[in-house]
Amino acid sequence: MAANYYCLLLDLDGTLLDFKAAEREAITEILVEAGLESGQQQAEEFSEINSQLWAALERGEIKKEQLGPERFARFLVATGQTGNAAQLNKIYMDRLATKAMPMPGARELLEELAEFATLAVISNGNQRIQLSRLQQSGLMPYFDEIFVSEKLGVNKPSAKFFDLALKYLGIKNREKVLVIGDSLTADIQGGINARLDTCWCNFTGEENHAGVTPTYTVQNFMQLKLVAIGEEELKLAENREKKHLV
């Protein structure tokens, strides 16, 4: 008996790390420091603008170096405030690099998955920020490789992103590779583009209006483990652990 997949490509934000919480803390802190209006309304406005621009990046409509200053330029206009968008973005990115909130159970999940498969991060985020957050989160030791679009020179959902990752890992059998993430348009569509099985982490119970069909959909980490490892293999692992404890 073997696990269903022996190579797991896992998205970071929204899948293993709570990006919304990190984003909310970072934007609130820098707005206060800059003497700008801050609060739930401003945080939600920024989050919406940020999400829109990351979606535009996935569609190839904006470059990553443009995204940061542009989100603050739009935020300042939307909230009727003035400021230096480029400087605010720089401070925001520095602050975001210090925010690492693992999803509840993420460490335990990776510890178990690492016994059965090669684990690799796949992220469209900033290289420096993602490495910093991974290290602070305590999740770094579970990964064999970290693939960030800034380093690879291509963004999800391009098939090339996944092709480069698998080439680097030396993985040739794509049937044993599973792409795991919370974004239908980046992770799941990217996996489909690369002819890989996909698992949508729909932890918030969203409706799928993206026209993208994942191989699997899970609502929690237990369901994810069953997909990646398989029920029989999980039972065998549990029995081996019980015998070890006796």
Catalytic residues: 11, 13
How far, in Å, CA of 68 to CA of 202, rounded?
A: 27
Q: Can you tell me which residue has the tokens 């069909």?
A: 213
Query: 168: how many CB neighbours lie within 10 A of its CB?
Result: 12
Given a contact cutoff of 8 angstroms between Cβ atoms, the answer to whether 102 and 138 are in contact is: yes
